[in-house]
Amino acid sequence: MGLDLSTTTTQLPKTCINIKQEVKGVVQTVNKCFLDYGAYNYERSQTYGNLPFPKNIPAANPQLGFFDYLTPYQTQMAPDGRPLFHIKSANIVPTVFVSLPATGTANIGGFAQASDDARAVIDFMHSHPVIAGYEARVLCEGSAPPPPPVIVDVSSKLQMPTRMVGNTTHEGTLTVNNLKGAPATGSVQLVGKDSTGKSLLVYQNSFNALAAGKSVSFTIPFKAPKYATTITWTATATAAGDNNATNNTATFKTTVTAPRGNDDRDDRD
């Protein structure tokens, strides 16, 4: 881990000294460091008197320093003579360390004691496990912040025939772009109306998980009416989380001329 190097950053301070050491077969003077535990202090009752945090045991009246463990009844036995067990809530310190006196509280001795005490608590809990499904509910100090809203930027582009002869069929293209943000899911609609406001076409479709920077195109076949008119096309794309409505709509106009010999009034009603 490089703890003996002066260039390695550590939480505890270091003391460095020059020592003689064999380096590639040659005895040399090298600088070696060791962690200085002189300012380290450990107090068992303080550490385990404040765990778990936040307190959650016993469930009816949580107290710091308490834990649950499985233990046999002292006087009750099963009909076949086997012991009966129950879950008990008690203080960690007198329960775990009843026969484990502290041997050091400061310097490297305190660090070693803290390490051994942690081992003792883990060993006790593994030897007296609470039955699965009966664990105490873990309390939270605060809920996690909600996930950020899904933000996308969907736009429409429309290309229809500029001119058409009545009673003929052509194709147009409607393109939806996801300019930025998360993958977009939504719908698209194309409406075509003649100069009197009569609806000639309503086209609808949907798109799913359209990635940012990608587009999807829809081909729309359309047969022009038999009379001369101007068709106004309006395409609108919608998607959840789209916070830019200025580019959702695209428009286009198609001029239709009546076919030769056709009564201009046909097909209007």
- Whether the model pTM is above 0.75: no
How far lies 137's CA from each of 58, 92, 133, in Å?
10, 18, 10
Q: Is 233 helix (H, G, I), strand (E, B) or coil?
A: strand
pLDDT of residue 141: 55
Q: Does domain 152-257 have CATH number 2.60.40.10?
A: yes
Confirm if 226 and 166 have CB atoms less than 8 A apart: yes
**CB atoms inside a 10 Å sphere around CB 235:** 26
Q: Is 198 helix (H, G, I), strand (E, B) or coil?
A: coil
Inform me whether the pLDDT recorded for 36 exceeds 80. Answer: yes
pLDDT band at 147 (very low <50, low <70, confident <90, very high): low
Give mean pLDDT, residues 260-264: 61
pLDDT band at 143 (very low <50, low <70, confident <90, very high): low
pLDDT at 139: 62
Mean pLDDT confidence for 34-59? 88
- In this structure, the number of other CB atoms found within 10 A of the CB of residue 89 comes to 17
Which residues partner with 90 through β-bridges?
67
Tell me what pLDDT residue 233 has.
Answer: 96
Confidence bin at 12 (pLDDT 50/70/90) = confident
Kindly report the CA angle at 189 between 152 and 150, in degrees rounded to 5?
A: 15
Tell me what pLDDT residue 21 has.
Answer: 85
Does residue 142 have a pLDDT over 70? no
The amino acid sitting at 185 is T
Give DSSP secondary structure letters for 143-162.
PPPPPPPP-EEEEEEEE--S
**In the chain, what percentage of residues exceed pLDDT 70?**
92
User: E strands within the chain?
Assistant: 14-23, 26-35, 66-77, 83-91, 152-159, 163-165, 169-181, 184-193, 199-210, 215-223, 229-239, 249-257
Give the per-residue pLDDT at 269.
53
Kindly list the domain boundaries of the chain, sorted by start residue. 1-36, 44-127, 152-257
